Amino acid sequence: ANRAFDSAFSRIAELNQCCSDYDETTELSLLSQSSPHESPQQVSQDLFRVLQKGQQISSATQGAFDVTVGPLTKLWRRAHRKRELPDKNRLAHAIEAVGYDLLKLHGPDGSVQLTRPDMRLDLGGIAKGYALDAALAEIRQIGIRIALVNASGDMVAGDPPPGTDGWKIGIAELNPTASPSHFGLLANRAIATSGDAFQHVVIDGTRYSHILDPRTGLGLTERSSVSVLADDGMTADAMASAVSVMGPEKGLKFIQESDDVEVMVVVQNSKGAVETTKSPGFEKWIRRRPT
């Protein structure tokens, strides 16, 4: 068990050095700092896999999910610290450097090209899921099949504990500190929840989420929580982020057109009423509180 822990956390640390944009020395940060690229840049297999999955979801959601959102992320992190909206001119300039069509991937050799100046990649909506998958893979390589990996509420599960059908999972809707309102059993699948319960800022009476719409450059103003079930953590993580931006109606339609993915969307409307939407598969997954 100790070898499994050490191996899993070592792999997570390796991926953090690859995919984090908080550290200027990571592979991701150095790639962004060198934009624009006259020719494709070779990247690690891990980074290419995450970018490739991100581009697939960006295309499928018409930009509701976009790993090139980094210039906007930087502005909004400052907005959260200063509690003031980003400068309009800076926001407009940042939007010019955002767009998944500006990121070119070259599959045969695993290289990447950022085609516009001042581009910045942000994998905050997808890399955590990839790290969960990688950590579980490390544990399995040691021979342990019964395991659960949890990263701030996003989880990937291996085989279920002995004598059970799965790991007991509880989901709190809009307030994660409250008692869970939905329960399910997770085995050899993943679940990710995207929401703004902890990360938001109120400016001039408007509540802005840390979740940004890459197409408008603005933080979401409708309070929501999106939980996605998928076969792997990277898919669950990215699709939860995408559906948060798309909203319940478009998000549910997108999920229902995807294979082996289910979703629950909880939204608090302008009048304070809470509305919950679930895909049929998510409804079937929910059960009475497991004992």
Q: Which residue has the tokens 């018409």?
A: 62
Is residue 290 over pLDDT 80?
no
CA–CA distance, 214 with 219 (Å, rounded to integer): 9
CA–CA distance, 170 with 155 (Å, rounded to integer): 11
What tokens does 61 get? Answer: 């959601």
Mean pLDDT of the 102-125 span: 95
12-24 pLDDT, tens per residue? 999 999 999 999 9
Higher pLDDT, 116 or 152: 116
User: Rounded to a whole number, what is the largest CA-CA distance in the chain?
Assistant: 60
Q: Which residue has the tokens 């939204």?
A: 267
List the one residue out of 155, 157, 163 whose CA is nearest residue 145: 157
| pLDDT band, very low/low/confident/very high, at 3 (cuts 50, 70, 90) | very high
CA 104 to centroid of chain Cα atoms:
21
Query: What is the pTM (predicted TM-score) of this model?
Result: 0.93
pLDDT value of residue 184: 95
pLDDT value of residue 181: 84
Mean pLDDT of the 99-114 span: 95
Is residue 48 over pLDDT 60?
yes
| pLDDT band, very low/low/confident/very high, at 83 (cuts 50, 70, 90) | confident
